[in-house]
């Protein structure tokens, strides 16, 4: 019997036509373009909460918002709002604008700003630095300065079981780990408590996840909120050398990446694809207990592709490409001091305001204490 192939859908993404299967999301269509032609990888919308191996994830961080200029061939009206590309399904004849639309880029910039206002920016001491999605996202789409002057929210560190530490202060509430706990582990002990910007990831009543696959929450976390306690503060990611390896494991697929410092295996993670998503979840035995080369069959060095500073000069590409970048940056930072306050000449007012300004700092810290 001849196999019936589903009718392919043709969409236009940033002027590039691509054919995909029905039910594909805009994000997957864009990734298909980039997988066919690596030079186009810049036009793929960033994803902070969406994680393909976790069904129903996505739609929360709004980083991947794109504009649909034409809904479909049948109904060519544009969609009224920007839509999240990770969960919006494609329609025949859809025209999507991502990097070609200024409104989309402006929105993305503001999403970086929103995500960073409560993020501690402690990258220098964070284990995730170097493979952090938020770092990449902010570097590619964000602005170099912040307009946020107030206190950031802080939480105490919590140990979730013997292997994982939760540093809620860094969390961007993408809910990936919650979906992992829901879908990979069989007991639902992991969720979100409280509301709004006071929300926190929590194992209910601080109950440890004693599950064989609990370590995977570390891999899915886009930032350094969930970290590996056996690896904390051991080394910077970019000084380690990744090697693919496998072993026979009765619980999981056993395919991992070993991270070497010299001859010593200091960390084991699941293998990740181009988009920073794990291919197969691995068990805690493989992840935390088999830290000897003799436990593993080596397959050769991991190909470092997209989101890693391990590839040379990733964060200095602007400098490498344009030597006058630093000069321009300095110019934009120091010459454009934006102070639109009215110029006051009245001496009485000036004196009054300077007293007031002196008091402000003390007053604010008092206010913060009182609140």
Partner 1 sequence: MARKILTEHINIPGIESFDVYRQQGGYTAVEKAIKTMTPEEVVEEAKKSGVRGRGGAGFPMGMKWGFLAKPEGVPRYLVCNADESEPGTFKDHHLMKSIPHLLIEGMIISSFALGANKSFIYVRGELMYVIRILEKAIEEAKAKGFLGKNILGSGYDLELIVQPGGGAYICGEETALLESLEGKRGNPRNKPPFPAVKGLYQSPTVVNNVESISNMPWIINNGGDAYAAIGIGRSTGTKLISASGHIQKPGVYEIELGLSVDEFLNSDEYCGGIRKGHYLKALVAGGSSVPILPANLITKTANGEDRLMSYESLSDGGFATGTMLGSGGFIVFDETACIVRNTWNFSRFYHHESCGQCSPCREGTGWMEKVLHRIEHGHGSMHDIDLLVDISKKIEGNTICPLGDAAAWPVASAIRHFRDEFMWHITNPLEASQPGAVYQGEMALV
Torsion angle of C-alpha atoms 17, 21, 25, 26, degrees rounded to 10: 0
In angstroms, give the least distance from the CB of 158 to partner 1: 18
Among 4, 125, 144, 198, the residue binding partner 1 under the rule CB under 8 A is 198
Q: Interaction with partner 1 in 29-58: which residues (CB under 8 A)?
A: 58
- Interaction of residue 342 with partner 1, rule CB under 8 A: yes
Stretch that binds partner 1, among 180-188, 292-300, 305-313, 357-365 (CB under 8 A): 357-365
- Interaction of residue 352 with partner 1, rule CB under 8 A: yes
| DSSP letters for 210-279 | --TTTTHHHHH-SSTTEEETTTTTT--GGGSEEEEEE---SSS--EEEEEEETTEEEEEEE-B-TTS-BS
- Interaction of residue 356 with partner 1, rule CB under 8 A: yes
Which runs of consecutive H residues, i.e. helices, occur in the chain? Answer: 26-36, 102-117, 133-141, 176-183, 216-220, 284, 317-321, 325-334, 347-370
- Interaction of residue 360 with partner 1, rule CB under 8 A: yes
- Interaction of residue 61 with partner 1, rule CB under 8 A: yes
Q: Is 26 helix (H, G, I), strand (E, B) or coil?
A: helix
Length of the chain as a residue count: 371
Nearest CA-CA partner of 216 in 275, 268, 139: 268
- Burial of 196-217, coded b for 16+ CB within 10 Å and e otherwise, reads eeeebbbbeeeeebebbbbbbb
CA distance 138 to 109: 8
Among 32, 35, 41, 62, the residue binding partner 1 under the rule CB under 8 A is 62
Closer Cβ to partner 1, 145 or 321, answer by number: 145
Residues contacting partner 1: total by CB under 8 A: 45
Stretch that binds partner 1, among 17-25, 33-41, 144-152, 326-334 (CB under 8 A): 144-152
Closer Cβ to partner 1, 330 or 367, answer by number: 367
Closer Cβ to partner 1, 322 or 353, answer by number: 353
DSSP code for 310: T
Q: Residue 356 — φ and ψ, nearest 5°?
A: -60, -45
Q: Is 104 helix (H, G, I), strand (E, B) or coil?
A: helix
Nearest CA-CA partner of 42 in 77, 14, 79: 14
Stretch that binds partner 1, among 21-29, 62-70, 250-258, 312-320 (CB under 8 A): 62-70
Q: Interaction with partner 1 in 77-116: which residues (CB under 8 A)?
A: 81-82, 84, 87, 106-107, 110-111, 113-115
Stretch that binds partner 1, among 146-154, 156-164, 179-187, 237-245 (CB under 8 A): 146-154
Nearest CA-CA partner of 215 in 275, 156, 290: 290
In angstroms, give the least distance from the CB of 194 to partner 1: 7
Residues that bind partner 1 (CB under 8 A): 58-63, 65, 81-82, 84, 87, 106-107, 110-111, 113-115, 117-118, 147-148, 150, 172-173, 175, 191-192, 194-199, 338-342, 352, 356, 360, 363-364, 367
């Amino acid at each position: 019997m001849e196999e019936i192939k589903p009718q392919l859908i043709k969409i236009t993404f940033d002027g590039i036509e691509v054919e995909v299967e029905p039910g594909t999301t805009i994000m997957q269509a864009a990734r298909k373009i980039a997988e066919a032609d690596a030079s186009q990888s810049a036009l793929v919308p960033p994803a902070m909460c969406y994680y393909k191996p976790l069904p129903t994830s996505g739609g929360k961080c709004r980083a991947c918002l794109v504009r649909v200029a034409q809904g479909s061939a049948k109904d060519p009206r544009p969609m009224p709002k920007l839509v999240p590309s990770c969960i919006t399904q494609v329609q025949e004849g859809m025209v999507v604008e991502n990097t070609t639309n200024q409104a989309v880029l402006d929105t993305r910039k503001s999403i970086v700003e929103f995500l960073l206002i409560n993020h501690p920016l402690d990258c220098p001491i964070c284990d995730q630095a170097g493979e952090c999605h938020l770092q990449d996202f902010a570097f590619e789409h964000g602005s170099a300065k912040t307009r946020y002057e107030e206190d950031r929210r802080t939480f105490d560190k919590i140990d979730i079981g013997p292997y994982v530490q939760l540093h809620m202060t860094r969390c961007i509430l993408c809910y990936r780990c919650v979906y992992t706990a829901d879908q990979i582990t069989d007991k639902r002990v992991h969720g979100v408590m409280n509301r709004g910007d006071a929300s926190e990831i929590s194992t209910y009543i601080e109950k440890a996840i004693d599950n064989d696959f609990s370590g995977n929450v570390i891999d899915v976390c886009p930032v350094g909120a969930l970290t590996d306690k056996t690896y904390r503060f051991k080394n910077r990611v970019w000084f380690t050398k990744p090697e693919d390896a496998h072993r026979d494991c009765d619980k999981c697929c056993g395919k991992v990446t070993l991270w070497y410092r010299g001859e010593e295996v200091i960390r084991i993670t699941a293998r990740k694809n181009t988009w920073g998503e794990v291919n197969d979840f691995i068990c805690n035995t493989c992840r935390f207990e088999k830290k000897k080369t003799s436990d593993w069959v080596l397959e050769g060095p991991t190909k470092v592709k997209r989101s890693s500073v391990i590839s040379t000069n990733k964060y200095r590409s602007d400098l490498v490409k344009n030597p006058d970048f630093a000069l321009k940056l300095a110019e934009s930072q120091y010459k454009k001091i934006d102070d639109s306050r009215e110029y006051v000449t009245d001496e009485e007012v000036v004196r009054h305001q300077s007293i007031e300004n002196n008091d402000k700092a003390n007053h604010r810290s008092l206010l913060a204490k009182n609140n």
